C-alpha cells in the first residue's frame, strides 16, 4: 500500500505535467480517492456509511482505510466512553480543557478568540485520536427558552457566521474535521425529534443559513450534521432541498453529511437526499438503514452505485484531510497554553450589565471582607444535564477565583444561599419545588452579608437547568434566587449580582433594584479567575450580549405570534426574518437588555463616521471610516457595531441589520481610527418569488453603534 501511495503523486505529475502546486495536490488527491474506490467492493463501501460503534463509522481494513472516529463537542473533547455504551471508559488520560460555552464565545464578539477555541479543540482531539469534532453548534437563538441556547452563539446571522467560520478554521488547522451542527432550524428542544419547522425561504436564506453557508464556503468545513427535526415537511436527514440542492450543489460542499444520533429515518429517501453517514441509530449495526437495507436498495436499483460512490468519495476526501493526512499533528491535551486560551475567551465574554454605583472595579484598598454567596459560586459547569460535557482537568469556581485574586487583602467567606434542586433527567414531579427559596440558607447568607464590606451574589442557572433535550418553561430565575437577592441586597447595600447562565433570564426586578450586575456564563476551566479579574479591574469588561433579553417572554417573536412550541408537532416560523433584535426594533418593543449591549470601565466616543463614496453599485465595497476615542482613565476594548437599514424599502426589511463589527483595544485618552469594509452584495435581501438575492436601489442608512439601541453616528448612502 505505502509504495502505491508514493507512486500516486508521481503519476499525477507525469500525467498532468506542469500544473500549479495546488492543482497538482488536488489532482493527486483525486487520484488517491479514485484508486481506493476502484478497489472497494460494494459491501466495503456500504460499511463506511454507517456507525460501527457509538462514535465511529467503518473503515476498510484490507485497504488500510481506518475507521472514522468522532467525539463531542462544543465545550471540549468529551471523556472517553465505552465503545458500545455511554458509560465512562474510565481512562486516566482524557482530562481535557473545558472551554467557555457557545454564547460565551459569541459574547466576546472576537472571531480571533473563536479561532483560538478551535485550535484548542483540534489539538485536544488529536491527542485523543479523534478525526471529527462534533462542533461548533450554532443554530440561531430564535426562542430564548431553547435548552441549547447556551451551546449556540447568537440570534444574529452575521455575528454567528463570523464566529462559526473561525471556529471551523481553528479546529481544521489541526487536521481535525469540524462538524457544524445542526443543519437546519433545530431551534427548540421540545419535540425536537418529531417536530416540523415551517420556515419560509427568505428566513432560511437570511437568518438560518448564513452561518452554515459561511462555515462551508469560507471555513471549508469538512462535515455537517443534519438536524433531528423536519424542515418544511421533510426530515433534515432526508431533505433533498437542504442537503443536495443547497448544501452540496449551490454551496459546493465537498465533505460529508452525517446524521444526528438516531436522526435517520429511512434508507432510500436519506441516501438519495444527500445523507452520507448514519450515526447513533439503535439495534444491530448491520441492520441500520445505511447497512444491509442500503445494500439491498442498491441491488434493487432504488439507490444507484454512483450515489454510493459519491458518499465514499466524500468520506475519503475528509480522511485525506484528517486521519490520513500528511504531517498529521500529534496534538496535546489540557496544556497550560490551552488553559490560557480558555482564560482569554472567558475574560472577554463577561458582560457588565449595570454599574450605577461605580462599585466596580473593586478597590482592594478599601475592602477588608467579602461575602461570596450562592450555589453557583462553588458549582462547576463542565458536566451536567443531558448532552455533552467535559471531564475538566481543572475548573476554577467563582469562589476559588475570588479567593485567589482578593484573598491576600480581604477575608473571603462563603454561604450557599440557595439549593439548586433540579436534575435534567428528572420528571416534573421529581423536580417540583425547584423554584422555592430555602429560608434557612437565606438567613445564613443574610447574617454573613451583614458583616462584610461587600457581598458577591453568584446566581443564575446551571448545566442541569439549561440542557439539551428540554426547553425551559419560562424566563424566571430558578431556585428562589430572587428572594435571596432581595434579602441579601437589603442586608448589604454593596451587593454585586453575578449571573452565570447561557441564555436570557428575567432580570427585571434585579435591573430595577440592584446597582451592580455582571453576566458570566458556563465559562470554562478558568471561569473563576476571569470573573475575579473583571471584578478587580485587571480585565476591563468587553463582552457584549449576543442576544436580546426581552422584558417579558410574550414580547419575543415566537411567543407573541404563538408559534412556540407549535401545534400538532408543527412550528410555523411566522415571524419570518424578524428574529431577535430585528423583531424588537421593527415592532418598536423595548427590550430589557438589547443585542450588542455591555458596559466597560471606561467610555468611548464616536466621531467622523464617513463612507468613501456617496453612491455605490452592485459588486462595490463600502469603506467605512470613523474615529473612536477612549475618554476614560483605563484601557478598554470597544465593539464597534455597524448596522444598515434600507429607507423606503419596497419589501419588509428589519429596522436594522448588523453588517460588520470590530473589537478594538484603545488606551486611555487615545483615539483609534477604524476602517471597516462592507460589500454592497451583502446588503441584498432574498426575494422569495424570484428565488434570488436582490440589491434594492435607493437610499440606505449606515449606523455606527455601541449596541443595537445605542446608535452613536449615522450617515446615508445610495445604491444605484
Ligand atoms: C446531539 C448532538 C451530538 C450527538 C452525539 C445528539 O443528541 O444533538 O449535538 O453531537 O448527540 O452526542
Residue 216 has pLDDT above 90, yes or no: yes
Residue 15 has pLDDT above 90, yes or no: no
Q: 5 C-alpha to center of ligand 1: Å? A: 36
Domain ranges of the chain: 1-39, 42-321, 336-544, 603-719
The three grid cell numbers given for residue 610, joined into one nine-digit string: 464617513
List residues bridging with 415 in a β-sheet.
373
Respond yes or no: is residue 260 known to be catalytic. Answer: yes
Q: Which residue's C-alpha comes closest to atom 11 of ligand 1?
A: 261
Q: State mean pLDDT over 303-308.
A: 98
pLDDT category at 18 given cuts 50, 70, 90 is low
pLDDT category at 25 given cuts 50, 70, 90 is confident
pLDDT category at 12 given cuts 50, 70, 90 is very low
Q: Give the three-class secondary structure for 347.
A: helix
Q: 387 C-alpha to center of ligand 1: Å? A: 7
Substitution site in 53, 72, 226 for ligand 1 pocket (most atoms within 8 Å of beta carbon): 72
Substitution site in 134, 151, 190 for ligand 1 pocket (most atoms within 8 Å of beta carbon): 134
For 236-287, the pLDDT digits (tens) are: 999 999 999 999 999 999 999 999 999 999 999 999 999 999 999 999 999 9
Pairing of strands 234-235, 698-707: unpaired
Question: Which atom from ligand 1 is nearest to the alpha carbon of 388?
Answer: 12
Question: Which atom from ligand 1 is nearest to the alpha carbon of 469?
Answer: 7
pLDDT category at 27 given cuts 50, 70, 90 is confident
Which among 527, 490, 506 has a CA at the least distance from the CA of 350? 527
Question: Which atom from ligand 1 is nearest to the alpha carbon of 186?
Answer: 8
Give the 3-state DSSP-derived string for 71-122, with helices as H, strands as E and coil as C.
Answer: ECCCCCCCCCECCCCCCECCCCCCCECCCCCHHHHHHHCCHHHHHHHHHHHH
Question: Which atom from ligand 1 is nearest to the alpha carbon of 182?
Answer: 9
pLDDT at 480: 98
Q: 261 C-alpha to center of ligand 1: Å? A: 6
Distance CA 3, CA 457 (A): 65
Residue 706 has pLDDT above 70, yes or no: yes
For 643-689, the pLDDT digits (tens) are: 999 999 999 999 999 999 999 999 999 999 999 999 999 999 999 99
Distance CA 698, CA 646 (A): 8
Q: Which CATH class is domain 42-321?
A: alpha beta
pLDDT at 13: 46
Q: 342 C-alpha to center of ligand 1: Å? A: 23
CB half-sphere exposure, 273, CA atoms < 13 A? 21
Residue 5 has pLDDT above 90, yes or no: no
Substitution site in 388, 469, 471 for ligand 1 pocket (most atoms within 8 Å of beta carbon): 388
Query: Could you give phi then psi for residue 468, rounded to 5 degrees?
Result: -55, 150
Which among 192, 188, 147, 195 has a CA at the least distance from the CA of 468? 147
Q: Which residue's C-alpha comes closest to atom 6 of ligand 1?
A: 261
Identified catalytic residue from 260, 375, 506, 533: 260
166 C-beta neighbours (distance < 10 Å), count:
25
Pairing of strands 196-198, 177-183: unpaired
For 624-652, the pLDDT digits (tens) are: 999 999 999 999 999 999 999 999 999 99
For 73-104, the pLDDT digits (tens) are: 899 999 999 999 999 999 999 999 999 999 99
Question: What is the widest separation between alpha-carbon atoms in the chain?
Answer: 83
Fold topology of 336-544: Rossmann fold (3.40.50)
For 130-169, the pLDDT digits (tens) are: 999 999 999 999 999 999 999 999 999 999 999 999 999 9
Substitution site in 81, 130, 191, 261 for ligand 1 pocket (most atoms within 8 Å of beta carbon): 261
Task: For cell 476571569, name the residue.
Answer: 530
Substitution site in 132, 150, 259, 260 for ligand 1 pocket (most atoms within 8 Å of beta carbon): 260
Q: 260 C-alpha to center of ligand 1: Å? A: 6
Q: 460 C-alpha to center of ligand 1: Å? A: 25
Q: Which residue's C-alpha comes closest to atom 7 of ligand 1?
A: 261
pLDDT category at 316 given cuts 50, 70, 90 is very high
Residue 1 has pLDDT above 80, yes or no: no
**R_g (Cα) of the chain, nearest Å:** 26
Q: Which residue's C-alpha comes closest to atom 8 of ligand 1?
A: 260
Distance CA 293, CA 299 (A): 10
Q: Which residue's C-alpha comes closest to atom 4 of ligand 1?
A: 261
pLDDT category at 21 given cuts 50, 70, 90 is confident
User: In the chain, pLDDT over 70 holds for what percent of residues?
Assistant: 97
302 CB-near residues (< 8 Å, 6+ apart): 268
For 576-628, the pLDDT digits (tens) are: 999 999 999 999 999 999 999 999 999 999 999 999 999 999 999 999 999 99
pLDDT at 24: 79
Distance CA 336, CA 529 (A): 14
Quote the mean pLDDT of the chain: 96
Question: Which atom from ligand 1 is nearest to the alpha carbon of 280?
Answer: 5
Q: Which residues line ligand 1 (CB under 6 A)?
A: 72-73, 134, 181, 260-261, 388
Distance CA 203, CA 654 (A): 12
Q: 262 C-alpha to center of ligand 1: Å? A: 9
The three grid cell numbers given for residue 577, joined into one nine-digit string: 426574518
Residue 226 has pLDDT above 70, yes or no: yes
pLDDT at 4: 43
Query: Could you give phi then psi for residue 586, rounded to 5 degrees?
Result: -65, -40
Question: Which atom from ligand 1 is nearest to the alpha carbon of 55?
Answer: 5
For 355-378, the pLDDT digits (tens) are: 999 999 999 999 999 999 999 999
Q: Which residue's C-alpha comes closest to atom 5 of ligand 1?
A: 261
User: In the chain, pLDDT over 90 holds for what percent of residues?
Assistant: 96
CATH number of 603-719: 2.60.40.10
DSSP string, 246-263: IIIIIS---SEEEE-TT-
Q: State mean pLDDT over 484-513.
A: 98
The three grid cell numbers given for residue 38, joined into one nine-digit string: 476502484
Question: Which atom from ligand 1 is nearest to the alpha carbon of 137?
Answer: 9
pLDDT at 198: 98
Q: 256 C-alpha to center of ligand 1: Å? A: 16
Q: 228 C-alpha to center of ligand 1: Å? A: 10
Amino acid at each position: 500500500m505505502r509504495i502505491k501511495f508514493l507512486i500516486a503523486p508521481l503519476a499525477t505529475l507525469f500525467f498532468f505535467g506542469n500544473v500549479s502546486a495546488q492543482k497538482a495536490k488536488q489532482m493527486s488527491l483525486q487520484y488517491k480517492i479514485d484508486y481506493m474506490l476502484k478497489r472497494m467492493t460494494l459491501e466495503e463501501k456500504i460499511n463506511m456509511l454507517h456507525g460501527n460503534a457509538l462514535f465511529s463509522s467503518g473503515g476498510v481494513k484490507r485497504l488500510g482505510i481506518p475507521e472514522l472516529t468522532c467525539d463531542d463537542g462544543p465545550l471540549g473533547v468529551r471523556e472517553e466512553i465505552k465503545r458500545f455504551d455511554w458509560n465512562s471508559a474510565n481512562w486516566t488520560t482524557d482530562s481535557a480543557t473545558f472551554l467557555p460555552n457557545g454564547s460565551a464565545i459569541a459574547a466576546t464578539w472576537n472571531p480571533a478568540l473563536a479561532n483560538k477555541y478551535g485550535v484548542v479543540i483540534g489539538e485536544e482531539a488529536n491527542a485523543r485520536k479523534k478525526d471529527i469534532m462534533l462542533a461548533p453548534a450554532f443554530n440561531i437563538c430564535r426562542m430564548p427558552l431553547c435548552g441549547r441556547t447556551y451551546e449556540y452563539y447568537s440570534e444574529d446571522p452575521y455575528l454567528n457566521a463570523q464566529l462559526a467560520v473561525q471556529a471551523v478554521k481553528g479546529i481544521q488547522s489541526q487536521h481535525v474535521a469540524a462538524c457544524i451542527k445542526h443543519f437546519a432550524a433545530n431551534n427548540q428542544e421540545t419535540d425536537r425529534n418529531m417536530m416540523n419547522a415551517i420556515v419560509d425561504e427568505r428566513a432560511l436564506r437570511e437568518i438560518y443559513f448564513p452561518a452554515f453557508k459561511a462555515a462551508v464556503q469560507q471555513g471549508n468545513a469538512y462535515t455537517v450534521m443534519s438536524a433531528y427535526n423536519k424542515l418544511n415537511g421533510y426530515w433534515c436527514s432526508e431533505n433533498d432541498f437542504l442537503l443536495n440542492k443547497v448544501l452540496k450543489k449551490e454551496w459546493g460542499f465537498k465533505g460529508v453529511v452525517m446524521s444526528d444520533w438516531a436522526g435517520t429515518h429511512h434508507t432510500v429517501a436519506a441516501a438519495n437526499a444527500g445523507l452520507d453517514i448514519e450515526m447513533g441509530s439503535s439495534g444491530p449495526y448491520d441492520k441500520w438503514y445505511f447497512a444491509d437495507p442500503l445494500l439491498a436498495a442498491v441491488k434493487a436499483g432504488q439507490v444507484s452505485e454512483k450515489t454510493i460512490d459519491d458518499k465514499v468519495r466524500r468520506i475519503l476526501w475528509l480522511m485525506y484531510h484528517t486521519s490520513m493526512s500528511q504531517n498529521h499533528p500529534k496534538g496535546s491535551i489540557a496544556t497550560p497554553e490551552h488553559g490560557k486560551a480558555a482564560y482569554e475567551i472567558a475574560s472577554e465574554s463577561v458582560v457588565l450589565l449595570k454599574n450605577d454605583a461605580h462599585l466596580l472595579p473593586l478597590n482592594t484598598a478599601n475592602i477588608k471582607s467579602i461575602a461570596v454567596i450562592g450555589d453557583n459560586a462553588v458549582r462547576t459547569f463542565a458536566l451536567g444535564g443531558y448532552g455533552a460535557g467535559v471531564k475538566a482537568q481543572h475548573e476554577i469556581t467563582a469562589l476559588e477565583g475570588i479567593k485567589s485574586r482578593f484573598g491576600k487583602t480581604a477575608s473571603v467567606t462563603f454561604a450557599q444561599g440557595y439549593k439548586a434542586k433540579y436534575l435534567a433527567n428528572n420528571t416534573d414531579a421529581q423536580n417540583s419545588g425547584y423554584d422555592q427559596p430555602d429560608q434557612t440558607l437565606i438567613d445564613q447568607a443574610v447574617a454573613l452579608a451583614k458583616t462584610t464590606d461587600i457581598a458577591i451574589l453568584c446566581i443564575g442557572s446551571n448545566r442541569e437547568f439549561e440542557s439539551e433535550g428540554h426547553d425551559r418553561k419560562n424566563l424566571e430565575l430558578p431556585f428562589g434566587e430572587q428572594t435571596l437577592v432581595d434579602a441579601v441586597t437589603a442586608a448589604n447595600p454593596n451587593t454585586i449580582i453575578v449571573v452565570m447562565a447561557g441564555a436570557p433570564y428575567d432580570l427585571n426586578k434585579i435591573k430595577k433594584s440592584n446597582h451592580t450586575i455582571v453576566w458570566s456564563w458556563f465559562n470554562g476551566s478558568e471561569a473563576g479567575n476571569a470573573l475575579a479579574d473583571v471584578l478587580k479591574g485587571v480585565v476591563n469588561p468587553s463582552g457584549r450580549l449576543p442576544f436580546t433579553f426581552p422584558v417579558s417572554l410574550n414580547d419575543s417573536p415566537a411567543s407573541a405570534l404563538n408559534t412556540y412550541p407549535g401545534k400538532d408537532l408543527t412550528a410555523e416560523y411566522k415571524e419570518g426574518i424578524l428574529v431577535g433584535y430585528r423583531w424588537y426594533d421593527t415592532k418598536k418593543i423595548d427590550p430589557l437588555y438589547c443585542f450588542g449591549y455591555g458596559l466597560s470601565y471606561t467610555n468611548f466616543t464616536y466621531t467622523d463616521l464617513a463612507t468613501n463614496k456617496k453612491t455605490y453599485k452592485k459588486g462595490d465595497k463600502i469603506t467605512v471610516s470613523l474615529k473612536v476615542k477612549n475618554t476614560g482613565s483605563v484601557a478598554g476594548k470597544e465593539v464597534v457595531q455597524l448596522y444598515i437599514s434600507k429607507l423606503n424599502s419596497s419589501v419588509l426589511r428589519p429596522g436594522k441589520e448588523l453588517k460588520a463589527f470590530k473589537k478594538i483595544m484603545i488606551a486611555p485618552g487615545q483615539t483609534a481610527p477604524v476602517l471597516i469594509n462592507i460589500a454592497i452584495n451583502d446588503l441584498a435581501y432574498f426575494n422569495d418569488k424570484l428565488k434570488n438575492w436582490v440589491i434594492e436601489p435607493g437610499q440606505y442608512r449606515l449606523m455606527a453603534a455601541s449596541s443595537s439601541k445605542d446608535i452613536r453616528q449615522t450617515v446615508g448612502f445610495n445604491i444605484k
